[in-house]
Amino acid sequence: MDRHIDGIPVPRGLVCVVAVLAIGPTTLRIAFDDGLTGELDLNDYVTWTGVFAPVKADPARFAEVFVDPEAHTVAWPGDIDLDSEALHARIS
């Protein structure tokens, strides 16, 4: 089945996040549709300013992480998300 983001077909080769879980105060376990799974400490990736400041400041908010069903990437409530390709490259 072809994947779509906002009704637009996702090009083959573009990886999508299929599962995400907060496993620490700034660490996620992420699974991708190509089979890659790994842990990523976002302190090594995210500058915790702007929209990301409240996510780091409140562990309960960080734990609200989910897979955006349309963009197929890591997201938090409030339209906060991370690029799936960049996440994949950091875990590979």
Chain position carrying tokens 């090009």: 11
The partner residues of 28 in beta bridges, in order of sequence, read 22, 40
Residue 1 has a pLDDT of 41
Confidence (pTM)? 0.84
Average pLDDT value for residue range 55-72: 95
Tokens of 41: 């400490």
**CATH at 86:** 3.30.2020.10
Chain position carrying tokens 């349309």: 70
Q: How many domains does the chain have?
A: 1
Question: Residue 75: which domain range?
Answer: 4-91
User: Tell me: the pLDDT tens digits for 19-55?
Assistant: 999 999 999 999 999 999 999 999 988 999 999 999 9
CA nearest to 39, candidates 49, 48, 30, 26: 30
Residue 3 pLDDT grade (very low, low, confident, very high; cuts 50, 70, 90)? low
